[in-house]
């Protein structure tokens, strides 16, 4: 039996909690049935400033950011990194990134080594 799951972002389960501030957050890994990898997708409106600056030092979790549409900037430790389609951006566990989408907004895929990543 073939074990393949295909879904568009808009078909994924959505987050609807207190963090909801104009963006759309999708539980991609959970919706696809991933068991060994964490994955979420987030659609952020233009210049959205509510992405939570955070780290994962307590659980040593690394994150990988993959912009799918639009562009933005990742700010970390006094540095700025452009985010645009085709870029792969790894952030270590103790780094606290702040992400701000550009004038067209940004759709971002976020991967983690934790399957319970939500």
CATH number at residue 32: 2.60.120.10
Contact criterion met (CB below 8 Å) for 54 and 37: no
Residue 61 inside a domain? The answer is yes
Tokens of 40: 């979420």
- Domain range spanning residue 68? 9-112
Residue 1 inside a domain? The answer is no
46-101 pLDDT, tens digit per residue, is: 999 988 777 677 787 899 999 999 999 999 999 999 999 999 999 998 999 999 99
1-53 pLDDT, tens digit per residue, is: 899 999 999 999 999 877 778 899 999 999 999 998 999 999 999 999 988 77
Residue 4 inside a domain? The answer is no
Counted domains in the chain: 1
Residues sharing a CB contact under 8 Å with residue 85, sequence separation 6 or more, in sequence order: 67, 68, 69, 70, 71
């Amino acid at each position: 039996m073939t074990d393949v799951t295909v879904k568009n972002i808009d078909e994924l389960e959505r987050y609807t909690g207190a963090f909801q501030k104009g963006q759309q957050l999708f539980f991609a890994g959970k919706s696809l049935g991933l068991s060994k990898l964490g994955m979420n997708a987030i659609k952020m409106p233009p210049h959205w400033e509510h992405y939570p600056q955070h780290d994962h030092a307590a659980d040593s979790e690394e994150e990988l950011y993959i912009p799918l549409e639009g562009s933005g900037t990742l700010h970390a430790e006094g540095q700025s990194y452009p985010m645009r389609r085709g870029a792969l951006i790894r952030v270590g566990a103790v780094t606290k990134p702040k992400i701000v989408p550009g004038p067209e907004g940004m759709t971002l895929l976020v991967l983690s080594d934790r399957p319970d990543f939500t």
